[in-house]
Structure 1
Amino acid sequence: MGEAAEVQVQIMGQEAREESSAEGNAALQTMTLRIRKYMWWLQIAIYSLFVLSGQTVATLFGRLCFEKGGKSKWLATLVQLAGFPILLPLYCVSLPKSPRTSDSHTSQPSALVLLLLYFSLGMLLAGDCMMYSVGLSYLPVSTYSLICATQLAFNTFFSFFLNSQKFTPFIVNSLVLLTTSSTLLVFQTGDSSDPKRVTKGKYIIGFLCTLCASAGSGLALSLIQLSFQKILKRETYTVILDLIIYQSLVATCVTMVGLFASGDWKSLSREMGNFELGKVSYLMILLWTAVGWAVFPWFFSMNKIDGVKVTAMLLGILGFVSYMYQHYLDDSKAESTNVD
């Protein structure tokens, strides 16, 4: 009986240790998932900071160029695209392969398919940048930036049809708020105290061009995601970089053709000579516009913020927060599923 009791105690101890080990593994797995979640959101915050900082600089310099004598919209479009060579050194960066991206057995698209893909996306990018240039030339920076924020709504709209994005209450709320914020700006025709204000007709043209450009950007993002799913079938570092470089190259070439075909290049030297801040400032503005791209830039400009713009800004912020909160809920749901 003594030996049987001892064996029973050993068995119970072993079971207890196994149970404790299982609980420890579960706790470690949960902690690992939480760390990954926090790191993912930290990456999103850093990427967002880079995007917003670059766009802020580019938009401010772009608007400054138009205000001080710049007139060529083709050149303004070109500087939005011609900065892509700065990304070429990234090809020298070697990243460790993850199991998710080591799918070397996936069939590769043909060179013709890739050419058509890069050309189509490049043409769309060139058209978007041209419409953004027209909008920036006719609109105050604050109004322009608020309208650009509707890209999030367009991205969600096109994702519903192209990427199987589901409409949740928070997503719908985001769409309504962003749409309302832009609609308010239709009734703005600029600051009456601004001696260089544009006419009502040009304001409407600028508004529509910026809105169409935001729609085009949303469509482009959805098409890029669809391309990764249906054509490229991989999302490796090199494939993503190739897509960015080649579509930018196509867009740059298309814009240069437009610059010379329109005859705008003939007036560039005169435009530079008549620039209010001088030739050096003209070139530096073009250079830094090519390096960066805008949100909330009126904090650094002299544009007057009235009640309509404040309301539109708050609605836009609420729409963005609603959109991000839905992503947070989706991420939490996925984490809960993995733990179970």
Structure 2
Amino acid sequence: MTDDQEAKEEKSSHPTSIIADSHATITFKPKNFRWWIRVALYSLFVLSGQLVGALLGTLYYKKGGNSKWLAALVSLGGFPILLLLYFIPTPKQPSDPNNPHIQTDAQAQYQSRSPSLKSLALVYLSLGTIVALNGYLSSVGLLYLPVSTYSLICFSQLAFNALSSFFLNTQKFTPCIINSLVLLTISSTLLVFQSNSKDPTGVSTGKYVLGFVCTIGASAGYGLLLSLDQLCFRRVIRKETLRAVLNMSVFPSFVASAIFVVGLCGSGEWKILGREMDGYELGKVNYVMNLVGVAIAWQVFTIGTVGLILDASSLFSDSISVVGLLIVPIFAVVFLGDKMDGVKVMAMILAIWGFVSYVYQYYLDDAKKWWMTKDGGVI
């Protein structure tokens, strides 16, 4: 994670922005083999962590689990694993004139100013509260929806991210982005008309609708969270180092976990956990192992996400996690007995189309910036 870190230490939080002054020459160096190995490894962490976390979370409900607060808690409660990453040394910023992230003195001074403790506390508390709300809504969605339907609905997070970025991060609505918004909206809407009689969980129509609404809410919250992360990195933290990215993962997770503990105790669900464990279809040991597996899987996902943000970009990291949403329904059909009917297939095709359109717009943005800076040019 520390290789090539020199070029990342003062990276802008916007995944496609490059900082240069009027006398700087920008050169683009090809990525080495070790960079590709790291990116492949981090991508594997993201995909496998997301897949295992989603499947085990669904298995918990299928085999007798019923605590929404506990399910939300274990999805974030493993964040102390990330503390080990703080011991990874990070080199100081080099003075290489060919560094692709050259800054002016004014820009360097701006980024070197550390944010106040009050500002950081407000950021972490606000983001942690949103994370907690998203986690609870997701746990309700997994309780009442098949995991394949849940994953397809989560594709709408791209549309919500584009909408929130329009207001917070000056995102432009290009034809590709508009096309993505329309396709992802239609994809999620189709799932409303899916007959829940085919749902192996056998939930009522009311609970199915509740699960659908909660999952849409969680997707909207996650899309907003991505935009707020970008805004906070640009306006408050002003740098994207390993420690800064870890802080944005660990402290909000701590706040969210504390909220989940309060919710678990305040709702009285903690009183039934003993009976829930005794009645778990797979036994007490598997009950504990299931919850531990969920906690570890989502932290593996987070480690992969952090690695991709530092070695690639936040956009690439989010794109890989969205790709993982395509894998979950396939494995859910194989291992959990979910049914992939025509409505789900159509929703998946539209979601893939919307995703490709979304990513293609960022590819066009990157290509435009590359042509503007090639052959020693400047922005």
TM-score norm. by structure 1 comes to 0.85
1:165-204 equivalences under 5 Å are: 165-192=171-198, 194=200, 196-204=201-209
Alpha carbons of structure 1 residues 166 and 42: separation in structure 2 relative to 1, 3 Å: farther
1:177/1:318 contact within 8 Å kept: yes
The number of aligned residues is 310
Alpha carbons of structure 1 residues 234 and 187: separation in structure 2 relative to 1, 3 Å: same
2:85 aligned with 1:90: yes
> Deviation string for 1:111-136 (max 9, x for gaps)?
12211111111011000000000000
Give 1:288 shift.
1.0
> Deviation string for 1:32-75 (max 9, x for gaps)?
63725999898766544432321111110010110110000000
2:359 aligned with 1:324: yes
Match of 1:278 in 2: 283
Counterpart residue type for residue 76 of structure 2:
L
2:199/2:338 contact within 8 Å kept: no
Match of 1:156 in 2: 162
Give 1:101 shift.
9.7
1:101/1:236 contact within 8 Å kept: no
Q: RMSD in angstroms over aligned alpha carbons?
A: 2.4
Give 1:170 shift.
1.2
Q: Tell me, in whole angstroms, the C-alpha distance in 2 between the residues paired with 1:314 and 1:38.
A: 34
Match of 2:48 in 1: 53
Match of 2:331 in 1: 300
Out of 129, 132, 142, the residue aligned to residue 138 of structure 2 is 132
1:1-340 equivalences under 5 Å are: 33=28, 35-36=30-31, 47-98=42-93, 100=101, 103=108, 106-192=112-198, 194=200, 196-293=201-298, 295=325, 296-301=327-332, 302-339=337-374, 340=377
Match of 2:305 in 1: none
Alpha carbons of structure 1 residues 188 and 34: separation in structure 2 relative to 1, 3 Å: farther
Q: Tell me, in whole angstroms, the C-alpha distance in 2 between the residues paired with 1:224 and 1:101.
A: 23
Give 1:162 shift.
0.3
Which stretch of structure 1 is more off in the superposition, 76-85 or 45-54? 45-54
Q: Tell me, in whole angstroms, the C-alpha distance in 1 between the residues paired with 2:77 and 2:102.
A: 30
1:66/1:137 contact within 8 Å kept: yes
Counterpart residue type for residue 65 of structure 1:
Y
Q: Which ranges of structure 1 fall in alignment gaps of 5 or more residues?
A: 1-28
SS at match of 2:281: coil
SS at match of 1:149: helix
Give 1:235 shift.
1.7
Q: Tell me, in whole angstroms, the C-alpha distance in 1 between the residues paired with 2:38 and 2:189.
A: 33
Q: Tell me, in whole angstroms, the C-alpha distance in 2 between the residues paired with 1:125 and 1:190.
A: 29
Alpha carbons of structure 1 residues 297 and 126: separation in structure 2 relative to 1, 3 Å: same
2:115/2:237 contact within 8 Å kept: yes
Which stretch of structure 1 is more off in the superposition, 137-146 or 104-113? 104-113
SS at match of 1:299: helix
SS at match of 1:197: coil
Which stretch of structure 1 is more off in the superposition, 230-239 or 69-78? 230-239
Q: Which ranges of structure 2 fall in alignment gaps of 5 or more residues?
A: 1-24, 95-100, 299-323
Alpha carbons of structure 1 residues 319 and 131: separation in structure 2 relative to 1, 3 Å: same
Percent identity over the alignment is: 53
Alpha carbons of structure 1 residues 333 and 165: separation in structure 2 relative to 1, 3 Å: same
Q: Tell me, in whole angstroms, the C-alpha distance in 2 between the residues paired with 1:65 and 1:240.
A: 31
Give 1:189 shift.
3.6
